[in-house]
Structure 1
Amino acid sequence: MDGKIEMREALRQQQNEIDDYAVYKAVAKIEEDPKNREVLHKIAHQEKRHYAFWKKVTGKSLHPRRRIVWLYALFARILGTSFAVKLLEKREEGAEAFYRRLFDIYPETREIYEDEKSHESELVHMLNDRKLLYAGAIVLGMNDALVELTGTLSGLALAFDKSTVVGITGIIMGIAASLSMAGSAYLEARENPAGEISPATYAFYTGIAYIITTILLVVPFFLVETTLPALVLMFTAAVAAIVSYNFYISVARDEPFWKRVKEMALITFGVAFISFGIGYVVRTWFGIDI
């Protein structure tokens, strides 16, 4: 391989291959589904073979970076196998052009390229990630909290001057609404004919998503005394929540990221704007000054 840049790229690819091998092995260890585990081991074996090729090219031995392996294993435990391995595969997309440049120089790279191309489609079809079964519950709780509370808090912020009053009201409403949503989610899941979803777990995810979102939206009203800065912080937290959740879904389910973000943001801020206007009218009409 000619040139320092090419050698640097080769070493980077070699490092990625040994990292990926270690990640797939680590995720396979914590994977409960036997079929998922089998495919993860198969891909890990391919990654190790790719590493061996690059080792012959560079003449250097490299070791997996522990922080990378630990991070992706943590993703798999908390966010599910689908998210962890698909995020890892997205990192490999940039390597495809590099491999294509080497077909004539190293014929073995064509086989490695085909392996890398097959990983993503194979992963999409093989993974049975139970955490994704409850993604709908998270959407239900989170989206309902975003729409209801941003709207309600916006209206209250215009009706009342003291941000703590708005915050306390938001907490009371959020807890009550989360219990109500969890109960509704339980009844909805119980009617699921497939039987794959546990109604209690579905209700738990819905309620927890609602409560966490409530906390994110209400905290700003206890950090600042006036309502306008609190509203700005609240909407910032809402945007962060929308972006974070949709990033997760876009990776785990291969769905368009920005389309989902725009849709959820439009609904959330549309309701908030209307409620803000209602609060302004109520405050002006009744002359409220609390």
Structure 2
Amino acid sequence: MTSINNEVMKLVKSSQLDEEEGVLMYAFMAKRQKDEKNKAILEKMSSDEKMHAKVWESISNEKIKPNPIKIGFMKLVTILLGFTFMVKKMQRNEQLTIEGYDLLAKEFEHTARIVEDERRHEKELYAMLDEERLHYVGAMVLGLNDALVELTGAIAGVTFALQDTKLVAMTGIITGISATLSMAASNYLAERANGNENAIKSSFYTGVAYIVAVGLMVLPYLLLPSEMYGTAFACMIATVLFIILFFNYYISVAKDEPFVKRFLEMAIISLSVAAISFVIGLLAKQFLGIDTL
């Protein structure tokens, strides 16, 4: 074999590292699977990645071991966000640039074709993966959207009317818990009326999404002193934007849906409601003669 220039070798080693990470991660996911179909698919993907790694190792003549800290972090993300998210995230990261792949194809035409075929096969495999939580994305969106819109408005409305973080936190917690139970019950009844046999699970996902959002939104008011209601409000708005950003990123990866459009839509709605409620809170304080000082 002719000597390989540094640019090509760098791409080879990068590909080899991706494959070695895949071997460990897909095997980890497979061990956690109770569903036999998903387990078999993930085991096959781990096996394929091992073959890919050996192909690149035969070219680099070097054994490459993944960073254990990175692998540990990826395992944690898998546990928290699900295997479908991690599989698709890995597949996105693994794709070589067109220019980079052209370089490898020119140097190793036969090898590159084999790996290209295997990667196409992997895409077909992960399209077959079936994760329960993704069946209830609609229920989670319902709970999250309602929590963000309703609680953002409620907290914004009372923050500058009450001017006390602890009073606002108490209001948010009471409103949030009541709304969580109401939303979960409403979702259950709606799903039962539609003949959904998994109505209880659907309402559970709705309730969990709602109460998690409530907890994160109220947290700044619990942590900051009573007089720092303005700072708590700013932190709450930042938290809302982070929740919207994080959730829409998760959906965009796990379900291959557009990110920017969904993020902007949710952000604009939530912040608009917050602005309107803020004005209503100030007007109510003024006209009702409420003085918390």
TM-score (ref. length: structure 2) = 0.90
Q: Counterpart amino acid of 2:246?
A: S
Q: Is the 8 A contact 2:19 2:53 kept in 1?
A: yes
Q: Show the 5 A alignment for 1:15-164.
A: 15-94=17-96, 97-107=99-109, 108-124=111-127, 126-164=128-166
> What is the CA distance between 1:14 and its match in structure 2?
1.1
> What is the CA distance between 1:110 and its match in structure 2?
2.0
Q: Is the 8 A contact 1:185 1:202 kept in 2?
A: yes
> What is the CA distance between 1:121 and its match in structure 2?
4.5
Bigger CA drift: 223-232 or 260-269?
223-232
Matched residues in 1 for 2:238 and 2:13: separation? 41
Match of 1:216 in 2: 216
Q: Deviations over 1:144-196 (max 9, x none)?
A: 1110011011111232222221111111111111111111122223234353x
Q: Is the 8 A contact 1:33 1:128 kept in 2?
A: no
Bigger CA drift: 131-140 or 258-267?
131-140
SS class of match (1:288)? coil
* 2:270 aligned with 1:264: no
Matched residues in 1 for 2:221 and 2:152: separation? 12
Question: Do the aligned partners of residues 235 and 140 (structure 1) sit closer, same or farther apart at CA in structure 2, a change above 3 Å counting?
Answer: same
Q: Is the 8 A contact 1:79 1:131 kept in 2?
A: no
Matched residues in 1 for 2:196 and 2:186: separation? 18
Task: Report percent identity of matched pairs.
Answer: 36
Q: Counterpart amino acid of 2:60?
A: T
For structure 1, the residue ranges without an aligned partner over 5 or more in a row are none
SS class of match (1:104)? helix
Q: Is the 8 A contact 2:19 2:52 kept in 1?
A: yes
Matched residues in 1 for 2:95 and 2:85: separation? 16
Matched residues in 1 for 2:122 and 2:102: separation? 17
Match of 2:252 in 1: 250
Question: Do the aligned partners of residues 149 and 25 (structure 1) sit closer, same or farther apart at CA in structure 2, a change above 3 Å counting?
Answer: same
Question: Do the aligned partners of residues 247 and 162 (structure 1) sit closer, same or farther apart at CA in structure 2, a change above 3 Å counting?
Answer: same
Q: Is the 8 A contact 1:99 1:113 kept in 2?
A: no
Q: Counterpart amino acid of 1:93?
A: Q
Q: Is the 8 A contact 1:147 1:267 kept in 2?
A: yes
Residue 173 of structure 2, aligned match among 171, 174, 177: 171
SS class of match (1:61)? coil
Q: Counterpart amino acid of 1:213?
A: A
Q: Is the 8 A contact 1:13 1:95 kept in 2?
A: no
TM-score (ref. length: structure 1) = 0.91
Q: What CA RMSD, in Å, does the superposition of the two structures yield over aligned residues?
A: 1.9
> What is the CA distance between 1:64 and its match in structure 2?
4.1
Q: Is the 8 A contact 1:146 1:268 kept in 2?
A: yes
SS class of match (1:103)? helix
